[in-house]
Structure 1
């Protein structure tokens, strides 16, 4: 009969096992497992937005650590247009096994629902690699406008919005963007009816609010906070279920009585669906590990993102959830590309 293992021996065995586990995982993970002959040339990250945009900044933040991990240069290429769909289409059609993309929600979920003419199918032609960062939007409005006292709280603002009906307008970076679909969902949840006015980007939306052309808009936290702190705009609430670490001083819209409303923007890495599975697995593991480092967490937080760094399965689940949510709003509100 074997002798009982002492408590001290049990603890020692547990410590040895715990200390060995990360090493063992590192030796068997896709990030540590070589893919013979790959990469054989520079890796290209396609971004469907201009240099200096939020997706571009995220892609460039990854380029150096990714190059070190892969042993090849990493090039960021901007293919601008159609709300990022031109870049997403270029990724979907890439066949060199050295091209991936940094994309936003819409490119990977409802692009074809909004516009059937979009030449790629996000659910069939793109392979999820890793969800990188998430962020709520901030409902913002001018500091002063007719019908809304300067001291009015968020609930009073919604009362004024209901009374104004379609005499008010809201701005977004374009038809089918999360800002657009999110505001249409907000309209349904809060019984308000401002008219949609599309602009080239969020900065132009903020400028239009400052000029009095718009009465409200959903803006990214970094842009909203800069205007709020300067006293030019007011923050009414964030679109996350609760308060966000990105803007902890701003209450959630749920606190103002808007129930059943939760929305985030996000960015993620994707590959062509035709890329060999071992290469996808290698890239997903390396990208996820880089995203979760303290240095990258800090850098992306400063850019306005709360880091996720998920597995491909985690991103696939998020795509499924958001496609259902945003697709439901598209159908309910009859949203189509113009």
Structure 2
């Protein structure tokens, strides 16, 4: 799920390692290779993903499976446990007791879930141990091409038209409580626009509806927004990062159009069950961070639409706390509920 306000604390930066042989050699020789506990790992490592095969979280998890396997000397298996916006998979990780299970999460599972629904069966702060923030990305404000009354020239003209339209405009998201939903509600508060929210099963369906004239705006991931623009269906208006993003450097930030106090990022991260032995957590965190910062994996993550991070556990924990607090404010101010 999202970064709504600028992070002013830096994440630990470690030297990047090359993949394949270099990653295996470094794991065998460096501090991270010290045995986490006698005999660990004793069996394959399982990465639980709460989304289907081929989804963005699944692709990221599989990017890490091979180098992790090389470093650990055991197979690494991706286990897709789909449902409830990733919360079924998150709960499976929280309850895992085999010492060989971790999860690849989107930020919503680690920040938003319990803010909107106290019945979510796991508590990220209590039941999950942060390992590493893997990648971050802004969203892109997009508009349909050729829809009457919806300018697609620049952000200022677009927001002016949106204010004039009031609730005659609609925006789409992958559902209540998603980053796209909370982010657009924050954008409404910061700009005085008031489009109606229409939830869809996922971002592709949002893009299709907007291209078909059912919606006037949406916040989309950069790769999807670019593909829709190339197809002549949508126009990228502005990115939600504080400045221009390396993922879409030609697109101005909304801050350049005068939108103040607004920053939004989606991110993904690895976490483990809270009761996994601390030495095992430390070894996995070090390996995952090193892999994320390696040139080959950084490039793969970029192709998937992520700016690689590879943080320390403490860096991820800070991000979780900051974003939980920021999104909690949006939920309270905008009176958002799960219903």
Specify the alignment match of 1:134 in structure 2.
136
Distance 1:129 1:149, change over 3 A: closer
Identify which of 114, 117, 120 aligns with 2:116: 114
Specify the alignment match of 1:44 in structure 2.
46
Identify which of 56, 67, 71 aligns with 1:65: 67
Secondary structure, counterpart of 2:33 in structure 1: coil
Specify the alignment match of 2:243 in structure 1.
242
Equivalent runs, 1:33-182 vs 2, <5 Å? 33-35=34-36, 36-149=38-151, 152-182=153-183
CA distance in 2, matches of 1:132, 1:161: 35
Distance 1:32 1:334, change over 3 A: same
Higher RCO structure, 1 or 2 (CA under 8 Å, sep 6+): 2
Q: Deviation at 1:32?
A: 2.0
Structure 2: where are the runs of 5+ without partners? 1-24
Distance 1:136 1:149, change over 3 A: closer
CA distance in 2, matches of 1:126, 1:227: 37
CA contact (8 A) 2:28 2:71 kept: no
Equivalent runs, 1:137-286 vs 2, <5 Å? 137-149=139-151, 152-286=153-287
Distance 1:38 1:158, change over 3 A: same
Q: Deviation at 1:325?
A: 1.0
- Give CA deviations for 1:50-108 in whole Å, capped at 9, x if unaligned: 11110000001111110011111011011111111111011001010100000011101
- Give CA deviations for 1:208-263 in whole Å, capped at 9, x if unaligned: 10111111000000000111122210001000000000000100000111111001
Specify the alignment match of 1:15 in structure 2.
none
CA distance in 2, matches of 1:27, 1:75: 24
Specify the alignment match of 1:9 in structure 2.
none
Secondary structure, counterpart of 1:331 in structure 2: helix
* Cα RMSD for the two superposed structures: 1.6
Structure 1: where are the runs of 5+ without partners? 1-22
Distance 1:28 1:295, change over 3 A: closer
CA distance in 2, matches of 1:76, 1:292: 21
Q: Deviation at 1:26?
A: 8.8
Give the total of aligned pairs: 314
Q: Which has the larger radius of gyration?
A: 1
Specify the alignment match of 1:4 in structure 2.
none
CA distance in 1, matches of 2:194, 2:66: 46
TM-score by length of 1: 0.90
